[in-house]
Amino acid sequence: MFKLLVTDVDGTLLDHQSKLTDLNKRAIKDCINAGIKVVIATGKSFSAVEHLIKEFNLQLPQITLGGAMTVTPDGKVIDSFTIPEKIYHEIIDAVRAKGYEPLIATVEGKIYYQKFVPEMKNVMEIGETLYEADNIKKDIYAKHSVSIFLSITADDPLDSYIRKEFGKRMLISRSGKYFFDILNIKASKGNSLKKLIKRLKISKEEVISFGDSQNDISLFKESGFSIAVKNSYPELIELADAITDENHKSGLGKAIYKYILHKTVSTEAEF
């Protein structure tokens, strides 16, 4: 029997408009009512998923910013992985030398930009609030940053360049089509989950996880059973124990009833 359900947010729990479908909402609540704990593991900041934490009245620490921060339901940081200051400056300089502007997230959970560019609207569209910084090279940002990310697609030359230059020293992954994340090498959803299940004194086999992106690979590896939605990255589908319907077709909810609650979902209940 599963004791803990861990789910990614965008592309998995939420639909293409970053909305929670009725079936997914009901399935999560039915899990909680059945005594199964729920944890969100997302590339988003705490503030961007706080409404979901409140919606489900989640009680456990939640995994945010791709595993760089684990935060209690009331916003208290219990674990974080900052980017080494020297590497932080190297990455910012390298990104700007290529003509791009980065976003950064700090341990306070806020996301900052120095120069706003149109691509950053992709981040705002998934519910993130962006704050303007006078200079992200200042110590206050360099010493307390947990994530550097860019709104670029996988075929953008900067993707392969950053992986080549910093891939051995940093954790680099995607959390979505337009979301390219650079984190401390020790930060990942999987590492954060591993710490959490140790704290909860449950086994890996008692954990079921859901995801769709590259940053969910580590999550799947630390779970007893993993389920990918059909819209997932190919490498995640290959790793998953099961495949469910797309996110906008309530794939998560359908899988919850099939694999966890073992109930049949009627057509009327699906949408």
| Residue 165 and residue 220 share a domain | no
Residue 110 pLDDT level (bands cut at 50, 70, 90): very high
Percent of the chain with pLDDT over 70: 98
Residue 264 pLDDT level (bands cut at 50, 70, 90): confident
| Residue 215 and residue 134 share a domain | no
- The model's pLDDT over 96-109, given as tens digits with 9 standing for 90+, comes to 999 999 999 999 99
127: its two tokens:
């519910």
| Residue 155 and residue 103 share a domain | yes
Question: Mean pLDDT for the chain?
Answer: 95
Q: In the predicted model, is pLDDT for residue 268 greater than 70?
A: no
Arithmetic mean of pLDDT, 121-135: 96
User: Which of 126, 149, 184 is the last residue in one of the domains?
Assistant: 184
| Residue 180 and residue 89 share a domain | yes
| Residue 263 and residue 205 share a domain | yes
pLDDT at residue 267 in the model: 46
Torsion of CA 130, 119, 158, 169, to 10 degrees: 20
| Residue 205 and residue 72 share a domain | yes
CATH code of the domain containing 125: 3.30.1240.10
Give the domain range for residue 252. 4-80+188-270
| Residue 72 and residue 17 share a domain | yes
User: Which of 139, 168, 184 is the last residue in one of the domains?
Assistant: 184
| Residue 145 and residue 205 share a domain | no
| Residue 17 and residue 63 share a domain | yes
Arithmetic mean of pLDDT, 207-232: 97
Q: What residues have CB less than 8 Å from 151, skipping those under 6 apart? A: 103, 119, 120, 122, 123, 178, 179, 180
pLDDT at residue 176 in the model: 87
User: Which of 160, 184, 208 is the last residue in one of the domains?
Assistant: 184
| Residue 193 and residue 174 share a domain | no
Beta bridge partners of 4: 37, 207
- The model's pLDDT over 65-96, given as tens digits with 9 standing for 90+, comes to 999 999 999 999 999 999 999 999 999 999 99
Q: In the predicted model, is pLDDT for residue 64 greater than 50?
A: yes
| Residue 244 and residue 261 share a domain | yes
- Domains: count for the chain: 2
Beta bridge partners of 106: 145
Q: How far apart are CA 241 and CA 226, in angstroms?
A: 5
pLDDT at residue 271 in the model: 40
| Residue 160 and residue 73 share a domain | no
CATH code of the domain containing 39: 3.40.50.1000
Q: How far apart are CA 259 and CA 109, in angstroms?
A: 34
Residue 133 pLDDT level (bands cut at 50, 70, 90): very high
